[in-house]
Structure 1
């Protein structure tokens, strides 16, 4: 979801353009043109770094002056849940869909609630909970990927299931656990990190941050310094490389070959399923702020 200032900026621009056609259109939202907004305020909120709840709510579209001119259309069908093969499956799917809507609408009975705190705790249905004490990650993998040893060579097997995590804290543990279960040789790819000084004056500040320190930085927008894969590993693309050929952010692929500076991958699903592409090293330059530095530094990463 974009900041409400972005929509208001587009509104002013269209009004200026339409006023050249008819001066009265300058007084209408978006110059009298019908504009459709799509999104779910329960899932997609404006992303404001280090902002609190008041700032995020204030940046939402429904807090803009344009909102009073909008007509809301509600969608109730969950397109991610398809019809089952039996009446029992359809019943379970409907129960899960209704429960999701109740969570989004805040109609689920809470088990605890604290005043002046936005977090509300509620109990998950038992059919959606895996009880494990000794090996929770391994038990989760066994439930999502049954008969893994005999079916891990099938791309359809991986494309029809996935493990989602709310944070990146346990992503590596799950990835490495699945990687260890795959047969074959492990290929390790290391990034080449460097620090670009954006300051005006030249100084020796960059020398105080060795390469080992840059390699240890784990930023949420780029992968880690070390990437380990095997032939047959399911992967996901994180950058838009070629949208015409299906290489978009979020494209799920399976590794079919590991070269020196490229990884050969095959798209698993969608209209481009079955196509193979070579994924080269990609230059990523996120902006970061380092301690005791007034200038903004950029960590240059070649993956």
Structure 2
């Protein structure tokens, strides 16, 4: 979902190029999205700023023709859970005295302590993960989602330790690109995993599921977010198989590349990291 400022600038550019005052210079522009699923993500801001940056707050919004899809394809697979999510979105789902939504017992892992409950969650989502004859297609169909990258790292550590097979670990080469002199910079950079960068210590196993973090070759299916299965390792090139989409089953090679911290990352010192552009 793009910011309204980007769409408005695009409109201004088309008007200027075509020398007209007609919205989008009279060209047909198609936008797609669901405000319930793909809200704007704006760092270091608040709810009001996010709402004001949305396209619905733009003066262009009233000129759009709105088309709504009628059939929810995901709801066909699990209509009960889909209905539950819609009630939450409509604000009609029952809440407790603290205005908290109650998660159904059948969808809830009880909290005992952090380690025990996390282990129960992983066993529920990926049963028999330690089995050497594990059905690896299970990882294509399931995922554990959480709110922060640090939680993702913790869960990935638990899962890769349980995953069958011999592990292969790759360490990144980090380089300072800021003007300031940083004491013990290597140790500092190794401890950081900014958004969009792979970890300094990347532990993989044969058939472990990974996700690509950069667009390497979109034509061949190697895009940011592509899910793959590890099929082989080398010092500078890893061998994998695409597990989803129209390219599923295709064998690909992923090289080590040099990545930089995102420019909008205000919480990290800028540096370069040479590593495989993947994470578990």
Q: Same fold (TM over 0.5)?
A: yes
Query: Does the CA-based 8 Å contact 2:177-2:271 persist in structure 1?
Result: yes
Asked if 1:215 is matched to 2:200, the reply is no
> Which is higher, the Rg of structure 1 or of structure 2?
1
The separation in 1 between residues aligned to 2:259 and 2:73, in whole angstroms, is 34
Change (3 A) 1:6 1:247: same
Change (3 A) 1:282 1:112: farther
Q: In the alignment, what sits opposite 1:234?
A: 209
* Of 98, 110, 118, the match for 1:131: 110
Change (3 A) 1:262 1:184: same
Q: In the alignment, what sits opposite 2:151?
A: 170
Please report the RMSD computed on the Cα atoms of aligned residues, expressed in angstroms. 2.3
Q: Secondary structure at the match of 1:174?
A: helix
Q: In the alignment, what sits opposite 1:298?
A: 270
The separation in 1 between residues aligned to 2:135 and 2:192, in whole angstroms, is 35
Change (3 A) 1:274 1:148: same
Change (3 A) 1:289 1:130: closer
The separation in 1 between residues aligned to 2:194 and 2:267, in whole angstroms, is 12
Q: In the alignment, what sits opposite 2:233?
A: 258
Q: In the alignment, what sits opposite 1:247?
A: 222
After TM superposition, give the deviation of residue 76 of structure 1 in Å: 4.8
Give the number of aligned pairs: 271
The separation in 2 between residues aligned to 1:224 and 1:173, in whole angstroms, is 12
Q: In the alignment, what sits opposite 2:89?
A: 104
Ranges in structure 1 where 5+ consecutive residues have no aligned partner: 20-25, 84-92, 114-119, 200-204, 292-296
Quick check: 58-67 or 156-165, which moved more? 156-165
The separation in 2 between residues aligned to 1:62 and 1:248, in whole angstroms, is 29
Q: Deviations over 1:87-125 (max 9, x none)?
A: xxxxxx222112212222322233356xxxxxx631112
Change (3 A) 1:273 1:152: farther
The separation in 1 between residues aligned to 2:143 and 2:208, in whole angstroms, is 13
Q: Which has the higher contact order (CA 8 A, sep 6+)?
A: 2
User: What TM-score, normalized by structure 2, do the two folds share?
Assistant: 0.87
Query: Does the CA-based 8 Å contact 2:15-2:23 persist in structure 1?
Result: yes
The separation in 2 between residues aligned to 1:180 and 1:11, in whole angstroms, is 51
The separation in 1 between residues aligned to 2:176 and 2:123, in whole angstroms, is 42
Mapping 1:73-112, distance limit 5 Å:
73-83=67-77, 93-112=78-97
* Of 232, 244, 250, the match for 1:269: 244
After TM superposition, give the deviation of residue 257 of structure 1 in Å: 1.1
Quick check: 63-72 or 120-129, which moved more? 120-129
Mapping 1:275-286, distance limit 5 Å:
275-286=250-261
